[in-house]
């Protein structure tokens, strides 16, 4: 007869423990899990990505409802355990259920700590801990514009970044003079602050909150120094408090958290504790890697497997905020027993500090380039002797032999991927059992590297060590993103063959490592679906980059530039007046003629963007999008004595015929009235040189950091032929380029002769044009819908949210 195992808590640490128990002996227990949230097990550390708009709530599940059923687990959600009767060995829930147990696991986690100050109970004051917290923050951002995050630690900065992405003006209030003081020293913290300020984050340092002001809803904060600040939302990110009330009431030994031994056993031998609610050797851990290590130790103990138990953890930290690459582990400050190896490149914004005691690494702080974080952290955990290293060789990447030695010294239980709790042993087992030979295959099978991807070098090192001479680094296949081993062409082919109709369906059917996708594949799949099925697929605005969602380019200070369409750089007196009135109304700090001969409004506040567009009533210049940005032209034969054709008129026609339609990357075109090339068309994606007897067409140019001169395509006689060829070329590019690939590398990859042969085939050209015009119709219909006042208001609300 099976023993009855009951677990209070349905979070990451607890369910990971159950997974490990099932691996060891799936028939040992009849399992019941009690969870007070109405969701299956989800990845709590991905909530910041949900808030930042990188993924959705529905896509962060670790184990879905089917997993519980398949493993015969009785899951009670939305139900809270309120009492443990140790003598009778049962648990009482708030819905009146009595659940008997032979073994009980406490995995109750923790709650956000809310400062006990006046006003902390006002509406609009929340923590950042759960899906419900995250959804409240996202909903608040739709209706309010000013947020305060109290706490400049890891969670606070991630919350602040997400609220900025949601359109809010955000101040971070921090008690101390530097950010993330538990993980960074002053030098690294200052670099972090500068980078975050450049993203629009504002800081109120060395401030202690005295009171939250408001009647029913929060209106602002008052500080102990007498200053104050207005706000509509307060997010508390000042720490967590272990949920131990039920354990304390049951008479278990509790300090800050439930006290456990090396085998995660509490003061009652039939009750265990794991995760944030457990205290081991005086420490309650809050990061996922040690909690997974605890789960392994508990699973060994409860299934009767011999082990050394849990020995504590050395912590490491990474930040999930765009543009900030940091890693820290162990000590962060020098003392009389340590020596520091420091490199600080202020120009490159790179800072590296290694703390050493007795020729062993005891601390790591990396900012700007954290690629060596895992390597150095493993040296720290193994207490590797570095006496034979030079300072530069410790700080820089090791050679292949050194990396293999490091991998060989790792035990099977060592964590390789902290985000997903994947050990070296799990990776080696998968390599041998599944015949894996590439990083992408390992990632797809084990999820190692499927989140932040920073453990990729270590995973490849394990591959090389495990496979030996059969490992070939040169054949490591690169998928379209880190979630899959499939290339762009393979994904598109599978979408067509299997008739997949949504990005989520693509990720599930094609076994992407991350069901929620990543910042690379989400917009790519959205593009591929709309390109393949223009009349059926509904554009997913949430998967687009912020510039496209906001219809403006985000600037370094968090404001936006608004650029209306001006065909060929031409405008009217009425539009000029309207632009001037809007600029004055919204206090736009800079009005500028752009390099594409348009008028740009720079420094528009995010909350004003939809209102600016509404007041302008003009079509967007698509200066932010992956589509045709503009067609640059000279005045041509209309005014210039050298002009051979009406280049201005042709440029306007091209822009009107090709605008709006999404392409794999931005496109720029040019038409010049004579071979003097005043419009600089030979470094455009599509260029036209007007000559006496017609129009010379050029493709694949780029005027960016890597300049590429166009290749000659053909010469045609009429404007209609120019426009037809341009449509065919754009559609050919749309259907065959990787998302994010400009035409210059695409033409080189395809081969100019292949491109010319394909486009100059009359049958191909006709089909390309037909498919382009069908796609263009769907974009025009979408724009027409926007002209309806009610629809427009709804669109602006979506943009604001």
Q: Which domains does the chain have, with CATH numbers?
A: 3-109+242-302 (3.50.50.60), 125-238 (3.50.50.60), 316-434 (3.30.390.30), 488-544 (no CATH), 628-801 (3.30.413.10)
The per-residue pLDDT for 569 is 82
Find the helix packing angle between 400-409 and 456-467, rounded to 10°: 80
Where are any strands of DSSP class E within 400-516? 415-417, 422-423
Question: What residues does 330 pair with on adjacent strands?
Answer: 363
Distance separating alpha carbons of residues 163 and 142, to the nearest angstrom: 10
Decide the pairing of beta strands 271-273 and 103-106: parallel
The per-residue pLDDT for 562 is 86
The per-residue pLDDT for 793 is 45
The span from the first CA to the last CA of the chain, in angstroms, equals: 54
For 404-459, what is each residue's pLDDT tens digit? 566 776 777 677 877 677 888 889 888 888 888 887 788 777 878 765 556 777 88
- Residues of the chain below pLDDT 50: 397-401, 789-801
Task: Give yes or no for a contact between 293 and 313, defined as CB atoms under 8 angstroms apart.
Answer: yes
Q: In what order do the strands lie in the sheet with 628-633?
A: 628-633, 667-672, 686-691, 694-699, 711-716
Integer Rg of the chain from CA: 30
Distance separating alpha carbons of residues 545 and 564, to the nearest angstrom: 19
DSSP-based three-state secondary structure for 478: coil
The full DSSP string for 122-167 is SBTEEES-SHHHHHHHHHHHHH--EEEEE--SHHHHHHHHHHHHTT
Task: Give yes or no for a contact between 341 and 356, defined as CB atoms under 8 angstroms apart.
Answer: yes
Distance separating alpha carbons of residues 167 and 712, to the nearest angstrom: 45
Task: Give yes or no for a contact between 717 and 693, defined as CB atoms under 8 angstroms apart.
Answer: yes
Tokens 């019941």 map to which residue? Answer: 32
Distance separating alpha carbons of residues 355 and 338, to the nearest angstrom: 6
For 618-637, what is each residue's pLDDT tens digit? 877 777 788 998 899 998 98
Buried b or exposed e, range 459-474, using 16+ CB within 10 angstroms: bbbbbbbbeeeebeee
Counting residues of the chain whose pLDDT is more than 70, the rounded percentage is 92
Q: pTM value?
A: 0.59
Cα dihedral sign, 113-116-122-125 = negative
Both tokens of 256, joined, read 């800050």
The per-residue pLDDT for 395 is 60
The per-residue pLDDT for 617 is 84
Where residue 756 falls (left for φ over 0; alpha for ψ -120 to 50; beta otherwise) is alpha
The H-or-E segment that residue 377 falls in is helix 373-381
DSSP-based three-state secondary structure for 215: coil
Distance separating alpha carbons of residues 273 and 252, to the nearest angstrom: 11
The per-residue pLDDT for 322 is 54
Distance separating alpha carbons of residues 524 and 513, to the nearest angstrom: 16
Distance separating alpha carbons of residues 500 and 494, to the nearest angstrom: 8
Contacts of 24 (CB under 8 A, 6+ apart): 299, 300, 303, 305
Cα–Cα distances in Å, from 175 out to 73, 180, 206, 207, 225?
Answer: 45, 11, 4, 5, 12
């Amino acid at each position: 007869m099976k023993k009855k195992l009951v677990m209070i808590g349905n979070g990451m640490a607890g369910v990971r423990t159950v997974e490990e128990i099932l691996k060891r002996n799936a028939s040992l227990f009849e399992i019941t899990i009690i969870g007070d949230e109405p969701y299956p097990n989800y990845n709590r550390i991905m909530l910041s990505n949900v808030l930042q708009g990188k993924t959705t709530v529905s896509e962060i599940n670790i184990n879905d409802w089917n997993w519980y059923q398949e493993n015969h687990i009785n899951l009670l959600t939305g139900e809270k355990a309120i009492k443990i009767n140790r003598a009778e060995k049962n648990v009482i829930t708030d819905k009146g259920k009595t659940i008997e147990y032979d073994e009980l696991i406490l995995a109750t986690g923790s709650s956000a700590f809310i400062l006990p100050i006046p006003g902390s109970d006002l509406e609009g004051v929340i923590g950042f801990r759960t899906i419900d917290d995250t959804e409240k923050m996202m909903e608040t951002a739709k209706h309010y514009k000013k947020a305060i995050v109290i706490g400049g630690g890891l969670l606070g900065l991630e919350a602040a970044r997400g609220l900025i992405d949601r359109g809010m003006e955000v101040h971070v209030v921090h008690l101390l003079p530097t950010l993330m003081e538990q993980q960074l020293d002053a030098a690294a913290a200052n670099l972090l602050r500068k980078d975050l300020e450049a993203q629009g984050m504002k800081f109120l340092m060395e401030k202690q909150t005295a009171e939250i002001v408001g009647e029913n809803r929060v209106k602002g904060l008052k500080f102990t120094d007498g200053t104050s600040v207005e706000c509509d939302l307060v997010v508390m990110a000042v720490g967590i408090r272990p949920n131990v009330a039920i354990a304390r009431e049951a008479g278990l030994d509790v300090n800050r958290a439930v006290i456990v031994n090396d085998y995660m056993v509490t003061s009652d031998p039939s009750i265990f504790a794991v995760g944030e609610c457990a205290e081991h050797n005086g420490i309650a851990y809050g990061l996922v890697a040690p909690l997974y290590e605890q789960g392994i130790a508990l699973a060994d103990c409860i299934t009767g497997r011999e082990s050394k138990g849990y020995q504590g953890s050395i912590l490491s930290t990474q930040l999930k905020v765009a543009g900030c690459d940091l890693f820290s582990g162990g000590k962060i400050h020098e003392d009389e027993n340590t020596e520091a190896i420091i490199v600080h490149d202020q120009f490159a914004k790179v800072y590296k500090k290694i703390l050493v005691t007795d020729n062993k690494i005891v601390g790591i702080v990396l900012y700007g380039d954290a690629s060596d974080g895992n390597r150095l952290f493993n040296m720290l955990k193994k207490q590797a002797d570095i006496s034979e290293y030079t300072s530069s060789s410790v700080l820089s990447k090791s050679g292949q032999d050194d990396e293999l030695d490091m991998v060989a010294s790792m035990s099977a239980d060592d964590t390789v991927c902290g985000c997903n709790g994947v050990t070296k042993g799990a990776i080696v087992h998968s390599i041998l059992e599944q015949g894996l030979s590439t990083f992408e295959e390992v990632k797809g099978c084990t999820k190692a590297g499927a989140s932040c991807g920073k453990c990729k070098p270590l995973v490849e090192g394990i591959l090389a060590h495990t496979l030996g001479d059969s490992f070939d680094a040169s054949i490591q296949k690169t998928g379209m993103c880190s979630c899959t081993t499939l290339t762009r062409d393979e994904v598109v082919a599978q979408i067509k063959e299997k008739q997949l109709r949504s990005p989520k369906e693509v990720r599930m059917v094609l076994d992407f490592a991350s069901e929620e996708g990543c910042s690379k594949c989400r917009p790519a799949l959205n593009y591929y679906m709309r390109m393949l099925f223009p009349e059926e697929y509904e554009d997913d605005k949430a998967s687009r980059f912020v510039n496209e969602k906001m219809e403006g380019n985000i600037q370094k200070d968090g404001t936006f530039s608004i650029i209306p369409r001006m065909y060929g750089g031409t405008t009217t007196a009425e539009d000029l007046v309207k632009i001037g009135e809007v600029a004055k109304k919204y206090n736009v700090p800079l009005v500028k003629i752009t390099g594409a001969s348009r008028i740009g409004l720079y420094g528009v506040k995010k909350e004003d963007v939809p209102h600016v567009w509404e007041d302008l009533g003009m079509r967007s210049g698509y200066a932010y999008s992956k589509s045709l940005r503009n067609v640059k032209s000279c005045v041509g034969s209309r005014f210039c004595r050298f002009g051979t054709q009406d280049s201005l008129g042709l440029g306007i026609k091209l822009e009107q015929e090709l605008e709006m339609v999404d392409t794999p990357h931005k496109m720029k075109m040019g038409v010049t009235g004579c071979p003097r090339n005043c419009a600089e068309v030979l470094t455009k994606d599509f260029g036209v040189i007007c000559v006496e007897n017609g129009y010379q067409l050029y493709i694949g140019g780029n005027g960016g950091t890597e300049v590429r001169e166009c290749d000659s395509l053909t010469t045609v006689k009429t404007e209609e032929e120019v426009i037809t060829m341009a449509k065919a070329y754009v559609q050919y590019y749309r259907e065959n380029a990787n998302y994010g690939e400009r035409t210059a590398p695409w033409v080189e990859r395809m081969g100019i002769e292949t491109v010319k042969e394909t486009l100059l085939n009359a049958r191909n050209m006709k089909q390309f044009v037909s498919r382009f015009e069908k796609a263009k119709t769907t974009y025009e219909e979408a724009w027409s819908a926007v002209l309806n006042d009610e629809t427009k208001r709804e669109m602006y609300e979506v943009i604001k949210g």
